[in-house]
């Protein structure tokens, strides 16, 4: 079925949005692809924050949760055991943004630098270390790479698909990685079935 499937990409005004049509496919595959895009593509997200100084009015757990939701640029080649460390050392008065999170000995960084985290008042400090890990949306929503949806033209049977990336990966790369995940899953399933006596 996948060998016969055709994809026609439409132009989009946003660089994080991809719209395309699936032809010679069906709803079962479209739903499988949508679920894989949302929850099956590995991405990087902050999973642990260690606070060394926090004299702001916001408690550690709340700030840690905010850092977990910052989209982190995801490298092409990832291993499940990869870890990426960041540091932040800021003093008020100032507004702290995602771009103030500095990588330690690697090129991975927040995908968007203008996400507000906290406003520090005069003499308030925030000093911390954050660790980002690799996982998928099956583990936690912070690892989800995109929102994805589709609709069907009842007359032609054509499936119109939309991917809206959360900026960890470009939408076209997301689609390719989702197809790689599906191909591996199918291969693993085939190997498992062949072992059945």
Model pLDDT, residue 2? 46
pTM: 0.89
Q: Which CATH superfamily is domain 44-141 in?
A: DNA-directed RNA polymerase, insert domain (2.170.120.12)
**CB contact at 8 A, 137 and 37:** no
- What architecture is domain 6-41+145-194? 2-Layer Sandwich (3.30)
What residues contact 74, with CB distance under 8 A and at least 6 apart?
A: 42, 43, 44, 108, 145, 168, 169
The tens-digit pLDDT sequence of the chain (197 residues) is 445 677 888 878 899 999 999 888 899 999 999 999 999 999 999 999 999 999 999 999 999 999 999 999 999 889 999 999 999 999 999 999 999 999 998 999 999 999 999 999 999 999 999 999 999 999 999 999 999 999 999 888 899 999 999 999 999 999 999 999 999 998 988 888 988 87
- For the chain, which residues make up each domain, given as ranges? 6-41+145-194, 44-141
* E strands, the chain, in order: 6-10, 17-23, 43-54, 83-91, 94-97, 102-103, 116-120, 125-135, 146-152, 159-165
Question: CATH topology of 6-41+145-194 equal to that of 44-141?
Answer: no
């Amino acid at each position: 079925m996948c060998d016969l499937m055709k994809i026609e990409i439409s132009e989009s005004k946003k660089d994080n949005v991809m719209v395309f049509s699936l032809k010679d496919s069906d709803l079962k595959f479209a739903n499988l692809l949508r679920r894989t895009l949302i929850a099956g593509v590995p991405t990087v997200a902050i999973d642990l924050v260690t606070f060394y100084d926090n004299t702001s009015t916001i408690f550690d757990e709340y700030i840690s949760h905010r850092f977990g939701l910052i989209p982190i640029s995801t490298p092409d080649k990832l291993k499940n055991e990869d870890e990426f460390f960041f540091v932040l050392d800021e003093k008020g008065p100032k507004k702290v943004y995602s771009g103030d999170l500095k990588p330690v000995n690697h090129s991975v960084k927040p995908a968007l630098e203008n996400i507000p985290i906290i406003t520090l008042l005069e003499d308030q400090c925030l000093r911390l270390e954050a660790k980002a890990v690799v996982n998928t949306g099956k583990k936690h929503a912070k690892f989800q790479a995109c929102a994805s949806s589709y609709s069907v033209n009842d007359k032609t049977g054509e499936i119109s698909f939309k991917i809206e990336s959360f900026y960890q990966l470009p939408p076209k790369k997301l689609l390719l990685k989702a197809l790689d995940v599906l191909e591996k899953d199918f291969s693993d399933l085939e190997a498992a079935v062949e072992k059945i006596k």
